[in-house]
């Protein structure tokens, strides 16, 4: 069997962002070989036309390797920016007054245009305004329909169109811009597997994206706004997956508050059975250096110990000098952590109580039985992927082999902890199910003769949402004979 079709030796997934340093077919294949399980296409950079070749290269590699490969399209979301300055830049002095208004005249050290009506409607006295990724801090002292007066708490240089963050209020803006709607339609036409939505502040922000997607992709909510934390559980319930976008959270919140929030987001997502990705600045120094800092290695390890489904590289793989080495390092850290005898105990710090359903009860039982009888693998038959997500939520100690007849399901599961998805024909009978489970376990090197495996499925077959069977079988030596798919 080729290396490509063998399961990874780790359960956490690695998501690599593609960009100028990594968009050729050759580099994409190198990233895959180094350990990338899924690829992020950032819609904030480049035009749609440039993404077509990238997506085609991933799909061509998928065909060569025979492994369903996940593509996540990350929408830009609203970008709040100030206007222009006379001369292109100015200097804000700490302690002085600074005004943001609706006047398009080029600004100076005392004022600048803010072309976002929604902020004037939502702003409150005492709220902070952060400029240029939080480098400059303004405090609102007064406001009306056309003017926001502030005191400069942290000054510095400010140039044209720098970004603005409003961490202390919910800005009444839709999470989707016109650009996002166009990018979303493009991504769906390209048959990407996940759509990541930026600027999520409340569960209602997911509604338009969900309506436009119409089930053609899974929807991931990026948690990057402090307002999202206040309604975190509601947001997680309304999406298919979650990203801890630490970069933007770290701009709008004190840096020391981000680690406990990361743990909280991971815990809530795991408890509610949604795949969760930890992202941003994980191996930041590897943008320019062939090796990471020890603190970065520890940071990645912490996310793995917490039981995150996936860990993500951003600029490290998209624009850095060492993209392949960054993926290889992420892979090596994850493998080392999962070899730690204490890893299993730490992953189960999060209590994931099953819902009172047959499917949840069987998923929990599969994990426990696998440990009790030392099973080699859990084999899950699923059409929608929901059974696989339920089993993965339990973080079983053995590999999870997911057999599905639907290509879109196999691809979407690339962000799910421990899942090795295989596209295969559906089964028609109990005997066919057992025989196929044994063959696939052998073929994908997840079990050998004499091993027990656990099968979880639904009867009647080909009926989504009918998970009601858990079966333990022992593999004998000749299961591969007569194998036909």
CB neighbours (10 Å) of residue 309?
A: 28
Q: What letter would DSSP give residue 335?
A: H
Rounded distance between C-alpha atoms, residue 482 and residue 485, angstroms: 9
Tokens coding 218: 């899974």
Please say whether the beta carbons of 330 and 300 come within 8 A. yes
**Residue 203 contacts by C-beta under 8 Å, 6 or more apart in sequence?**
231, 234, 235, 237, 238
Tell me the longest C-alpha to C-alpha distance in the chain: 81
Helix locations, 12-47, DSSP H? 25-34
What are the angstrom distances between the C-alpha of 22 and each of 28, 93, 193, 323?
A: 6, 41, 20, 7
Rounded distance between C-alpha atoms, residue 264 and residue 129, angstroms: 26
Burial of 246 (0-12, 13-18, 19+ CB in 10 A): buried
Rounded distance between C-alpha atoms, residue 176 and residue 184, angstroms: 9
Q: Which of 81, 202, 271, 452 is catalytic?
A: 81
Q: Is 246 a catalytic residue?
A: no
Rounded distance between C-alpha atoms, residue 17 and residue 48, angstroms: 16
Nearest to 403 by CA among 468, 462, 335: 462
Tokens coding 271: 């408890």
Rg, the chain, Cα only: 24
Q: Is 222 a catalytic residue?
A: yes
Tokens coding 3: 């290396």
Q: Which of 162, 222, 390, 436 is catalytic?
A: 222
Q: Is 271 a catalytic residue?
A: no
List, edge to edge, every strand of the sheet that includes 128-131.
111-113, 97-101, 147-154, 136-143, 128-131, 164-165
Q: Which of 11, 40, 395, 439 is catalytic?
A: 40
Q: Is 40 a catalytic residue?
A: yes
Tokens coding 149: 């007066």
What are the angstrom distances between the C-alpha of 78 and each of 55, 164, 198, 337?
A: 24, 11, 8, 37
Q: Which of 17, 150, 280, 409 is catalytic?
A: 280
Residues annotated catalytic, as ranges: 40, 81, 222, 280
């Amino acid at each position: 069997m080729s290396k490509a079709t063998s399961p990874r030796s780790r359960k956490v997934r690695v998501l690599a962002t593609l960009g100028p340093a990594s968009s050729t077919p050759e580099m994409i294949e190198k990233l895959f070989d180094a350990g990338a399980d899924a690829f992020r296409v950032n819609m904030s950079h480049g035009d749609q036309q440039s993404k077509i070749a990238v997506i085609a290269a991933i799909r061509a590699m998928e065909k060569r390797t025979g492994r369903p490969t996940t593509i996540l399209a990350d929408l830009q979301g609203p970008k709040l920016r100030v206007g222009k300055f006379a001369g292109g830049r100015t200097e804000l002095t700490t302690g002085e007054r600074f005004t943001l208004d609706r006047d398009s005249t080029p600004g100076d050290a005392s004022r600048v245009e803010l072309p976002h009506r929604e902020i004037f409607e939502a702003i409150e006295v005492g709220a902070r305004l952060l400029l240029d990724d939080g480098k400059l801090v303004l405090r609102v002292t007064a406001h009306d329909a056309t003017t926001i007066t502030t005191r400069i708490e942290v000054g510095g240089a400010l140039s044209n169109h720098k970004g603005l963050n409003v961490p202390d209020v919910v800005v009444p803006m839709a999470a989707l811009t016109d650009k996002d709607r166009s990018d979303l339609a493009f991504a769906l036409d390209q048959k990407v597997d996940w759509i990541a939505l930026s600027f999520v502040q409340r569960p209602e922000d997911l509604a338009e994206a969900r309506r436009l997607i119409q089930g053609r992709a899974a929807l991931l909510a990026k948690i990057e706004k402090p307002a999202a934390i206040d309604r975190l559980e509601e947001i997680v319930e309304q999406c298919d997956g979650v990203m801890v976008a630490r970069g933007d959270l770290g701009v709008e919140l004190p840096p020391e508050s981000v680690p406990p929030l990361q743990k909280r987001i991971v815990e809530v997502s795991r408890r509610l059975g949604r795949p969760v990705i930890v992202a941003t600045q994980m191996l930041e120094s590897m943008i320019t250096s062939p090796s990471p800092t020890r603190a970065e290695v520890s940071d990645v390890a912490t996310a793995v110990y917490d039981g995150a489904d996936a860990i993500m590289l951003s600029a490290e793989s998209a624009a850095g000098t060492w993209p392949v080495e960054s993926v290889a390092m992420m892979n090596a850290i994850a493998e080392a952590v999962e070899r730690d005898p204490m890893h299993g105990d730490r992953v189960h710090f999060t209590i994931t109580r099953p819902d009172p359903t047959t499917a949840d009860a069987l998923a929990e039982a599969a994990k426990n039985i696998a440990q009790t009888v030392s099973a080699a693998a859990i084999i899950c038959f699923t059409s929608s992927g929901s059974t696989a997500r339920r089993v993965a939520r339990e973080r079983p100690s053995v590999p999870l082999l997911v057999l599905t007849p639907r290509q879109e399901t196999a691809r979407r599961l690339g962000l799910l902890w421990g899942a090795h998805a295989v596209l295969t024909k559906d089964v028609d009978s109990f005997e066919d199910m057992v025989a196929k489970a044994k063959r696939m376990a052998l073929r994908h090197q997840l079990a050998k003769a004499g091993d027990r495996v656990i099968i979880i499925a639904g009867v009647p077959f080909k009926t989504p949402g009918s998970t009601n069977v858990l079966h333990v079988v022992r593999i004998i030596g000749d299961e591969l004979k007569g194998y036909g798919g």
